[in-house]
Every structure is written in structure tokens, then in C-alpha cells.
Structure 1
Amino acid sequence: MNRSVRGLSRLWPDSLSMRIAAILVAGLLLAQALTSTIWFESRRRQMLEIPTRVFATRVADAARILSLRPAGARDEAVEALSVPGFRLRFTAKLPPPERSNADLDRVTALLSEVIRLHLGRPAEIVILCAELQDEWSRPAGSWAMMSARDPVVVFRVAIRLAPDQPWLLAMGREDENGADFGRLGTIADYVLRIYLLRIVIVAVLTLIAVRLAMTPLKRMAGAAEALGRDINRPPLDVDGPREVRAAAEAFNAMQARIVSDIEEKTRFLAAVSHDLRSPITRLRLRTEMLPTEALKENFRRNLGEMEELIDATLDFLRTGAERRDGVLVDLDRLVADLAGDLSISGSVIRVKGSAGDAVTGCPQDLRRCVQNIIENALRYAGQADVLLSAGSDHARICVLDDGPGIPDDQLERVLEPFHRIEASRNSASGGVGLGLSIAANIVGAHGGHLRLANRSTGGLEVTIDLPATA
């Protein structure tokens, strides 16, 4: 059962537009299957009509000829009029009719009408049998109407012109008398015109309608994705159908609330930061009044950590909140200048490769991102290797170190704000746990990806992939 469900789920389209189209086409097929009885009824009446008219005409002609003959010569005339497939005989007693069927109900009125019309006088007519049969003389079902080579209708009709006369019993088999209702043509007509043509037309119209209906949804999905990269992106255009306008207005209102909340939080923390700096400054002044140098140094270190924490927190909160116009960034020069600045303090930074200038973004943010990662490597390994490369659709910056690395179960968590590893990468080693978080936010704001991995030879590998400008 579960395998069947999984098999059906694989056939279910992945996109919403194709699902809607599939539902509509499936509904059309179901409706067509339920209403196909109309076609079969029409086809059956078509196969019955010509034989009925031909047989009724022959019966009327025979009855008229016999009515003109003397009573003693009628038996001879009956024999002369009887031919293979059409037999006549007189009977005094009316034979019992066969069990009623749908074909009998369909042709009774037509048989009686055509006989009276061609006979030209009143007559008593009883339809005893009328049944459509296939080439093997079996009752023709729905499939036989499309597959039978020579479907025929079997008739038994009794007629008398006056109550005192015997019944004239006519029995015969009539086909379509040369009408072109070929099997292949019939099947092709049924499948092509009734099913395929309608399905193709409905499918095309459905795909067009669904595409038009899904366009605003795709636009909104693109806007939501862009919103993750740039919270200050322009709002959506409020146009289209009423429901789309309502959704666009709700989306724009949500974006405005998010921007307002971020700005309010930033202002609040900036105010808190300002208020905290004043007592820290006063504490620095009082630190210089402490009696021993060791105590002074301890207080200076604690106050420095407090200031670093405040600055890093504000730096993290500003990431992505400030909207800046993107420009082409020369990553080779950016990394080279940064390596030169950081090497002044004696750090060893080796830069190899080239990423070119195919990236659009904010140079200041990208510099801060790469700087945080390189400083992180220098802090725990004392040196760093920076490898630059460019692909067809991305530019890559890879920072390698030979430090202690990160436990595999912590590789994702170190990107969370304020998360620090208590073993080798603890607060005593420096940092407040925001450098990698800030770097990941900047890369995400540029539509890229940041990945961490432990090297097989030891150390950490940080890879930055940024989308290349088309």
C-alpha cells in the first residue's frame, strides 16, 4: 500500500501550476467518461436508423403488393417476395413478442412511422423483435459499435391491413447498406475528436490560464526571496485581480513592519550602547586611580571586552539593515588590500588564484565579511591561506587554516550569534561569537552561501560562494 502511495506521489507534479492543470484535465477525463454514454447512444441510433428505414420500406412494399393480389395468389407471392435476409409468411395467430430491450424501444416508433408512410393506408403493426448484433450474431455491446465489421439489425415485424385478415410476419436482417461507418474510422473519430482533441484544447487553455494566474504568485515568491537578501527592497506593485492586490498589500505591509521593527531595534540598541559607553568611560577614568598595576590591567581588560561586545552587537544588527547600492567588486584587489593591512602586525596570509570582478555588491560589507573570516583563522592558527577562483556562475573565496578546527556537530551552530566553543575557541582566546554570524549574514544578503568544513589534514576551511554578475 505504501509503495503504491509513493509511486503515485512520484507521478504527482511538483509545481502548483502543473497540479492545477492535472486536476482540470483529470476532471475533464472523468466528466467525459461519465458523459460518453451520449456518444454511444448517438452511435447506436445511427447504426439502427438506416437498417430500420430499409427494412420498414421493404415491409411496406411487400404488404402493398400482397394487398393487390387475389387471396388465392398471395401465398405464391409471399414465396416470390422472400429472399435471403428477408422472409415473409402469413400466420393466423400473432407470435409472442420477444423480451423488450433498448433497441426495440428505440426503433418501434420509427418502424411504425416509415411503414405507414410508405404503405399509404392504416394498418395494425406490431414490432416483435429489433436487436443490433455483431458479426458473430451476438447482441452488440458498446465495444461492438466501434469494432464490429458488419453490424446488423435483426427484425421481426407483424402487420395486417384489416382485422379479418391474417398477420403478415416479416423477418429479416439489415446492415448499414453501404454506409461508411468503418471500424478504424469510428474508433479514430471517437478517440481523436471526442477525447484527444478536447483534452488538447482544454490542456492548452488550462496551461495558459494557470500560467496567467500563477504569474502574480511567482512574482510574490521572487519578492519573498529577494526580501531575505534585502529587507529594504522596493515594495511590490499593487495591481492585478482583487485577491492578488490584497496579497501584495499584505506583503508590503509585512515588509514595512519588519523594516520598522529592525529600525526600532537598531535605534534602541544604539541608544543603549550610547548610554553604556558613558559609564564605561567613567570606569576607565576610575581604573587609573586603582592602587596596583595588576588591578588596573584586569579592569582595563574587562572594560575592553565590554566595549568589544557592544561594538560587535551593533555591527551584527546593522548587517543587512543598511541599504547600499551594489557596484562591481574586484575581489582580487579587495582580498589583496585586506591581506596587506592584516600582515602589518606580522600575520602570515598567503593569497592565491583569481576571482575577478564579476561580483556585484557592497565593497565595505564584503571586506568586513572576508576580514572576519581571516581574523578568525589568524586568531586560532596564526596564519591563513586564501584561495580565489571563479566559475561560470559564481566567484569563490576559500580561507584555510591549520588550527584546531571545529567539532562536526558544531559546524552549523558556530554561525549562530554569540555561539562560542568552550574548548579551544573560548572567550579567553578572543572574540564574542559574532564574527562568523556577521560574515554569514553578509554573504546571504549578497545571494551567496557560506560553508564551514574541517580539513582532512587538520584545521578549518571556510568557503564563500557569491553569484557572478551576468
Structure 2
Amino acid sequence: MKTSKALAWLDRYRPRSLLTRMLLLTLLAVLLAQGISTTFWYTTFRAQENQGLVNSSRNLAYSAAATVRFFKSLPLEYRHIVLDQLRNMGGTRFFVSLNEMEIPLKALPETDRKTRVVQAVSDVLHERLGQNLPIRVEFVAQQDLRILNSQMKITDLPPSWANYALNLDPINPPVLVTQIEIAPQEWLYLASPLPAPYVSLEDTALPRQQLFFIVLLTIFLLSFIALMVRWQTRPLRRLARAAREMPFDDDRPPVPEWGSSEVVDVTRAFNTFRDRIRRYLKDREQLFTSVSHDLKTPITRLRLRAELLEDETLQAKFEKDLQELDLLVKSALQSVKDNDIYENMESVDVMALIDQVTEPAAGTPGKVTINGCPLRRYRCKPLALRRCIGNLFDNALKYGERVTIRIEDSPSELILHFEDEGPGLDPELLNKIFEPYYRATPCAPGEGLGLGIARAIAHAHGGDVEASNRERRGLRLSLFLPRNPE
């Protein structure tokens, strides 16, 4: 049940026009191509950036190791003098201090890039200073950075002390803090921001320029494809309109053969097809006209001869047979004329057509009931559709006395249901009633051509007429008319 609902939903909302399908396919192709290329580019870019960050951090570690060796080489009484000179005059890329203990720090969250950098710095320091020397390497945010034995914040120091080594504005990168125990109860404290341009330990996202380029390229391609498809499908829309209207009058020129070679071939085939149908209809009309004219003469002659018969009973039989023959000829000609309606397509008010058909019977209360209303006008052959609706209504009124016309309209289809309260039909006869000269009730008036003509007119509009029994009592004739795009 869920599968069928999902399939129905997909069928309802799937793109139907060639323009929409081409745009969706182009968008999918662009997103797929950009996704693949961006993935390779981003992977390479991130690998190069990570390698550059590690190399810069290693160089920073080499400088830190040189600074540690320099302080270890100084006599104890000179170390604080050198520290004061560095704080007041600069001369190193680190903020340096000597503390009695390791200062606890609030480290930044673990990331892949942070782990790589910390490992690279630790490896260089252990390589240059020895494996047994206690070394602590960690990254700290600026607002959490604490220095000296009192664990004061960097913002509490005089600006001149920190500006030489920790000038963090405006990018505010994380600070690499290295604490090394160079002697008992003597920890050398080194702090330095990440070197530019590597100012973040987070995995970098796509640059805004790259995202802007992808969006701009996608919009350009979709606009270009939309213009190209509309230009290429214009002949197809003209051909579809001509096929729906299918004019057979000799004054209408053929459809212009314009467009790509495939569209030109289809248009030429359509023009040839229309000419063949026009010639066929013209030959058929001439044939029936000739047959009608040729049959009238012998029928008239037989009537004259029948009047000369002395046997009145035999004369009556001849007269009855001749009347039936004359009726068959007239019915055949009428059927051809009703089906061959040479008129142009127009946008009409279907409700007005229904009112015209039902007006003679609408004077009797309860005889005709109309439920619903068309949402908009319908493009059709007006006289043909009026005859189709009239035949269906007359049939329902003939066998059911009271008729209910239900109108169902949607963007894709217009449906008219003619429901009577008659006896209904056997299921095996529901399709047979559309055959010429078939009458469900032989004694009923008419020649049995109305429903067949109604179905032929519906087929000419791309629709159909179907018969079904109502649940309780009566017959339902449903006229399905597709709504073609304007």
C-alpha cells in the first residue's frame, strides 16, 4: 500500500515538460561534476594546508629548542635580566617566562590538526633537547592563556610585555604553549601564536569564493540551458498545437518546417499525414455522396413499381422494406456528417454548452440535476462537443427519465458524468452500446448511432466515453476530456 502511494506521488510530481527535465538533469550534472571536482580539490588543498601547518610548527619548535638551549646556557643570575630585556625590547618570537611550577592550562578541544601539530612539536623538542626532559605542549585560546607563577591572564600584563610576541589582533589565532622543566622547580614557559597563514586548528571549509563560483556557474548553465531548450522546443510546441487542433480546411497553410533536423523531419511527416487524412476524408465524403445519390434512384424506382402491385399485402411489405433501406442510407450519411465536423478549435464555456443541451428538459422540476462546475474554459471544437454532450444527455434522459450531471475538473482532465435512474445494463453489454445501430432496448426510438458518435467526437478531442452501472440503480456515462496546455 505504501509502495503504491509512493509511486502515485512520484508520478504526480515528476517533471513532465522537456524544459523542466533538461534543467533538472543539467542541475544534477553540474552538482555531480562540481561535487567530484570540489572533493578532489578540497582534499588536495587540505592535505597541502595540513602539511604546511606541520612544517611551520616544526620550524617554530626548532626556534623553541634554540631558545631553551640559550636559557640553559645562561648562569642563573643572568636569566631574569635577559627576560626583562626580552619583555621590554622584544627580539624573540615567543613570550618567555620562568616559573616555579608547571602552570595548568585549559586546552583547546582535540582535533586532527591539533594532534598532528602537538605531535610534531613534541618530536622536534625531544629530538633536540633529549628524551628524558619533561616537556608539555598544548594549545590554548587567548582568553584562557595564563602565565607566570600567579597564573595571571595575558590581558592583565602591560601591553609592551606581550605585544612583541603575542600580537593576536585581529585574527586571534590559538596560542602554542610549551613548558619545559630545565631545572628542579624551574619551568621555562614559551608561548607563541600559530604562524600565518595557518591561524586555525579546525578543518577549514570551502572558501566563500569557491562557493560563489559554483553557484554562479550553476545559475549561468541553467539559464543558458533554459534559453536553448525553449528555443529548440518552440517548433515542437507549434507542432503539438497543430496536432491538437488538426485543421482540415484547405485554406490553412502547413506547419512551418523549422528547427533541428529531427524536428523538421517530424514536422514534414505531420504535414504529409494531415494531407493524407484530408484526402481520405474528402474521398470518403464523395463516396458516401455518390452512394446516396446512386441509391436514391433505384429506391424511388422500386417505390413506383411497388405501387403497381395489385396485392396490397405484398405492396405493404415492399414499402416497409424500402422505408428501412432509405432509413439506413440516411442514418449512414448522418453518422458520417456528425463525425466529420470541420471546425477550428476554440476556448468555450462548457457550462454554457450543458445549459443549452439541458434547457428543454430543465423546465420540469427534478428532471435534470447539475453538480459541480468547470474550473475554467475548455479548448475544443464547440459544435462537436455540444453534439457529444447532447447525445449522452439524450440517451440518459431516454432510459432514466431523471438525469444527474456531475462535473469533475482538474488541471489535467475534465470529466462529465451523466447518471440516469434507469434499469442499467448487463456488464457484457457496457461496451457494445457504442457500436453503430445497436440498441439495448429494440423498441426504443432512435437508430442506435448517438453513443457511437459521442465516443468518436471524444476520441477526436483525445478523450473517451465509458459506460458503467451505478451502485444502486441506473447507468453512468462518463465523458473524459484531457486538458491540453495552452
Same fold judged by TM-score > 0.5? yes
Deviation at 1:298, TM superposition (A): 2.9
Deviation at 1:238, TM superposition (A): 3.5
Deviation at 1:28, TM superposition (A): 3.2
| Equivalent residue number for residue 263 of structure 1 | 282
| Equivalent residue number for residue 108 of structure 1 | none
| Equivalent residue number for residue 47 of structure 1 | 50
Deviation at 1:267, TM superposition (A): 2.0
Q: How far apart, in 2, do the equivalents of 1:30 and 1:455 lie?
A: 54
Matching of residue 436 in structure 1 with residue 436 in structure 2: no
Change (3 A) 1:389 1:25: closer
| Equivalent residue number for residue 274 of structure 1 | 293
Deviation at 1:274, TM superposition (A): 2.4
Q: How far apart, in 1, do the equivalents of 2:52 and 2:417 lie?
A: 84
Matching of residue 407 in structure 1 with residue 426 in structure 2: yes
Q: Is the 8 A contact 1:156 1:169 kept in 2?
A: no
Matching of residue 306 in structure 1 with residue 325 in structure 2: yes
Q: How far apart, in 1, do the equivalents of 2:334 and 2:30 lie?
A: 59
Q: Secondary structure at the match of 2:257?
A: coil
Single out whichever of 15-24 and 262-271 deviates more from structure 2: 15-24
Residue 425 of structure 1, aligned match among 433, 441, 455? 441
Change (3 A) 1:23 1:420: same
Q: How far apart, in 2, do the equivalents of 1:327 and 1:20 lie?
A: 31
Q: Secondary structure at the match of 2:424?
A: coil
| Equivalent residue number for residue 85 of structure 1 | none
Q: How far apart, in 2, do the equivalents of 1:34 and 1:170 lie?
A: 46
| Equivalent residue number for residue 295 of structure 1 | 314
Matching of residue 316 in structure 1 with residue 316 in structure 2: no
Q: TM-score when scaled to structure 1? A: 0.56
The letter of the residue matching 1:324 is E
Deviation at 1:224, TM superposition (A): 3.1
Q: How far apart, in 2, do the equivalents of 1:374 and 1:301 lie?
A: 31
Single out whichever of 186-195 and 18-27 deviates more from structure 2: 186-195
Deviation at 1:457, TM superposition (A): 6.1
Percent of residue pairs bearing the same amino acid type: 25
The letter of the residue matching 1:25 is L
Deviation at 1:333, TM superposition (A): 7.5
Aligned residue pairs total: 373
Deviation at 1:40, TM superposition (A): 1.7
Q: Is the 8 A contact 1:359 1:466 kept in 2?
A: no
Q: How far apart, in 2, do the equivalents of 1:375 and 1:436 lie?
A: 10
Single out whichever of 437-446 and 395-404 deviates more from structure 2: 395-404
- Gaps (5+ residues) in structure 2? 75-108, 132-136, 138-175, 177-192
Q: TM-score when scaled to structure 2? A: 0.55
Change (3 A) 1:327 1:420: same
Deviation at 1:317, TM superposition (A): 2.5
Q: Is the 8 A contact 1:398 1:461 kept in 2?
A: yes
Residue 22 of structure 2, aligned match among 17, 20, 23? 20
Change (3 A) 1:459 1:298: farther
| Equivalent residue number for residue 186 of structure 1 | 204
Q: Secondary structure at the match of 1:238?
A: coil
Q: Is the 8 A contact 2:242 2:255 kept in 1?
A: yes
Which string of whole-angstrom CA distances, capped at 9 and with x for unpartnered residues, describes residues 286-314 of structure 1? Answer: 33234433333333333333333322223
Q: How far apart, in 2, do the equivalents of 1:3 and 1:373 lie?
A: 38
Q: How far apart, in 2, do the equivalents of 1:447 and 1:359 lie?
A: 13
For 1:68-79, list aligned pairs within 5 A: none
Change (3 A) 1:20 1:317: same
The letter of the residue matching 1:439 is A
Change (3 A) 1:317 1:169: farther
Q: Is the 8 A contact 2:255 2:267 kept in 1?
A: yes
Change (3 A) 1:392 1:436: closer
- Gaps (5+ residues) in structure 1? 66-75, 82-134, 138-143, 159-167
Q: How far apart, in 2, do the equivalents of 1:286 and 1:183 lie?
A: 116
Q: Is the 8 A contact 1:157 1:169 kept in 2?
A: no
Q: How far apart, in 1, do the equivalents of 2:382 and 2:45 lie?
A: 76
Q: How far apart, in 2, do the equivalents of 1:237 and 1:450 lie?
A: 34
Q: How far apart, in 1, do the equivalents of 2:339 and 2:309 lie?
A: 42
Give the RMSD, CA atoms, in angstroms: 5.7
Q: Is the 8 A contact 2:469 2:475 kept in 1?
A: yes
| Equivalent residue number for residue 177 of structure 1 | 195
